[in-house]
């Protein structure tokens, strides 16, 4: 997706962040929720007490727009990215914006979960399924349930313009023969709303403003454990997934610290930290969080990453013809 940002905007982005960048030994840009980003950074700094980390959190599209603005201004602030999906990092790799690093921790991961040249590594498995308020009259089990009359005007979803996971989800469902882009047209015709990120969907469904939503798994499962009136469903057709990869910017001035960060989030200790936060860790042999079904019972829908990368602009246009997204 092409992002057109003025040189003034790029300079402003750099100026706004320059103080933090110069004070830190490492700067992380991430799409993790704020509390999770802080926990990840705290864990890393505890394991590496000589390294101070500053971080910026936003949705993946916004993070990339910020990074592009800084690159245009000639002063990218970030050293490391920890964002939603591999498609975005593959784009940066092809543009020559990432640094290759062969982490020794890769031996503990399936080869499909990291770039063979070491440009990025998946850190967790985050699926998108259906959340519903326990007061809802219909208990959905299928993606098709969200286009039924019982769900008319009662469905919320994140916008692909604001969420990298939402873009991957839309592209994944669009590739399923029984769903396709017609499914999204049917959702729009049924009064579904697409706006903001996953947090907005969680709030809408938990409050009862909406009865149903498309959302990443850990949010409703985590909030249900705290007493929220929510249930999460892995639909019968299957679920999309993002793997929140980590990668080092080629422009980094702190390569050693950046490599230590990559090693940490891939390490057993780093993966245990993600498990405690309610994520499915990507590392082999790591258990699942409480509230999740067995790993082998979760049906993952396929996604052709190369095709998704190629079709991103057109897919966003297609989505936007059905939804007034923001």
| DSSP character string of 42-93 | HHHHHHSTT--EEEEE--HHHHHHHHHHHHHTT----SEEE-S-HHHHHHHH
pLDDT, tens digit, for every residue of 254-306?
999 999 999 999 999 999 999 999 999 999 999 999 999 988 889 999 988 88
Query: Residue 18: pLDDT above 60?
Result: no
pLDDT, tens digit, for every residue of 166-191?
999 999 999 999 999 999 999 999 99
> What does the alpha-carbon distance between residue 54 and residue 21 come to, in Å, rounded to a whole number?
7
0.85 cut: is pTM over it?
no
pLDDT at res. 55:
98
Residue 71: how many other CB atoms lie within 10 Å: 18
> What does the alpha-carbon distance between residue 247 and residue 88 come to, in Å, rounded to a whole number?
11
Query: Residue 71: pLDDT above 90?
Result: yes
Query: Residue 134: pLDDT above 90?
Result: yes
Using the 8-state DSSP alphabet, how is residue 277 labeled? Answer: T
β-bridge partners, 49: none
pLDDT at res. 20:
39
Closest CA to 36 of 206, 269, 275: 275
φ, ψ of residue 204 to 5 degrees: the values are -65, -40
pLDDT at res. 23:
63
- Across the chain, mean pLDDT equals 91
Residue 96: how many other CB atoms lie within 10 Å: 8
The least confident of 22-26, 71-75, 237-241 is 22-26
| Structural domains of the chain in order of their starting residue, each with its CATH number | 7-123+244-292 (3.40.190.10), 125-241+299-322 (3.40.190.10)
pLDDT, tens digit, for every residue of 113-123?
999 999 999 99
pLDDT at res. 8:
32
Query: Residue 156: pLDDT above 80?
Result: yes
pLDDT at res. 9:
38
305 vs 207: which has the higher pLDDT: 207
pLDDT at res. 1:
39
């Amino acid at each position: 997706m092409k992002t057109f940002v003025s040189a003034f905007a790029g300079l402003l982005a750099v100026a706004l962040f320059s103080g933090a960048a110069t004070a830190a030994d490492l700067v992380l840009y991430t799409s993790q929720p704020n509390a999770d980003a802080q926990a990840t950074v705290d864990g890393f700094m505890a394991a590496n007490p000589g390294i101070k980390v500053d971080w910026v959190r936003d949705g993946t599209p916004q993070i990339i727009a910020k990074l592009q603005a800084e690159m245009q201004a000639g002063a990218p602030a970030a050293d490391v990215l920890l964002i939603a999906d591999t498609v975005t990092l593959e784009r940066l790799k092809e543009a020559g914006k990432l640094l290759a690093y062969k982490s020794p921790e890769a031996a503990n991961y399936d080869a499909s979960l990291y770039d063979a040249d070491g440009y990025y590594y998946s850190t967790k498995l985050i699926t998108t399924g259906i959340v519903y308020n326990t007061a809802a009259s219909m208990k959905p089990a299928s993606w098709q349930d969200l286009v039924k009359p019982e769900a008319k005007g009662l469905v919320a979803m994140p916008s692909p313009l604001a969420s990298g996971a939402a873009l991957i989800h839309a592209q994944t469902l669009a590739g399923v023969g029984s769903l396709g882009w017609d499914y999204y047209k049917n959702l729009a015709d049924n009064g579904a709303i697409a706006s903001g990120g996953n947090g907005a969907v969680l709030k809408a469904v938990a409050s009862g403003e909406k009865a149903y939503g498309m959302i990443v798994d850990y949010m409703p499962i985590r909030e249900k454990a705290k007493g929220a009136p929510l249930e999460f469903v892995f639909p019968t057709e299957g679920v999309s997934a993002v793997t929140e990869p980590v990668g080092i910017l080629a422009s980094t001035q702190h390569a050693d610290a950046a490599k230590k960060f990559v090693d940490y989030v891939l390490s057993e200790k780093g993966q245990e930290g993600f498990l405690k936060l309610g994520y499915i860790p990507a590392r082999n042999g790591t258990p699942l969080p409480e509230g999740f079904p067995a790993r082998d019972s979760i049906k993952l829908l396929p996604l052709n990453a190369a095709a998704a990368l190629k079709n991103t602009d057109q897919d966003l246009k297609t989505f936007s013809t059905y939804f007034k997204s923001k």
